[in-house]
Amino acid sequence: MAVRPVLRYPDPHLRQISRPIEVFDDELAALAADMKDTMYLAGGAGLAAVQVGALVRLFVIDAEVAGRPADDPPLVLVNPELVSISEEQQTGDEGCLSFPGIFVPVRRGLRVRVRAQDLQGQSFEVEGEGLFARALQHEHDHLSGRLIIDLVGPVKRQIIKRKMRKENEAEAS
Ligand code: NI
């Protein structure tokens, strides 16, 4: 297990489409384990594989966010599909480990149902509401290269771009 570097906007990988996972092997388990460590260290609610440069349909969600005891292992979703999104919506501040320090109000479905596979390839479904539903939709967006910056108006978009440019310059120097 190891912590992997998290790609930051505007890294072009973040815009790519993640491909389905077909092989459920030790390599996949190792990737998921690293993602859990990485999310845990960064204090994130969720992390998609593309954010550590692996273009596969996999994300993890913090146990507490998923409505489980805080010391439970994070929820791992392989090949997740949004089965349904409620018409009822919620608006709340949303962050992303690829946009450190940035929180923007994003409108999402209040409840979602997601079908996925576990690390052994076994299918399961989860239902999320509130923060859990938000995290599921946010991470699912990552699999098709969609980011929080796409979900805000043009003024906020410019502010985020400027902040990220500064952040990345500070990181590089
Ligand atoms: Ni994110």
> How remote is the CA of residue 108 from the centroid of ligand 1, in Å?
14
> How remote is the CA of residue 25 from the centroid of ligand 1, in Å?
25
> How remote is the CA of residue 50 from the centroid of ligand 1, in Å?
10
CATH assignment of 12-172?
Answer: 3.90.45.10
Catalytic residue from among 139, 167, 169, 171: 139
Amino acid in the structure at residue 91: T
Kindly report the pTM of this predicted structure.
Answer: 0.96
Q: Give me the residue spans of the domains in the chain.
A: 12-172
Bridge partner list, 116: 124
Averages of pLDDT over runs of 10 residues in the chain (173 residues) are 93 98 98 97 96 98 96 96 98 97 96 98 98 98 98 96 93 82
> How remote is the CA of residue 14 from the centroid of ligand 1, in Å?
9
pLDDT of 16 reads: 98
For the chain, the C-alpha Rg in angstroms (whole number) is 16
* Six token digits for residue 82: 């949004």
pLDDT of 1 reads: 65
Q: Which protein residues have a CB closer than 5 Å to ligand 1 (ion)?
A: 96
Half-sphere exposure of 68 (CA within 13 A, CB side): 12
> How remote is the CA of residue 129 from the centroid of ligand 1, in Å?
18
Q: Which 3 state secondary structure label does DSSP give 75?
A: strand
* Active site (annotated) includes residue 139: yes
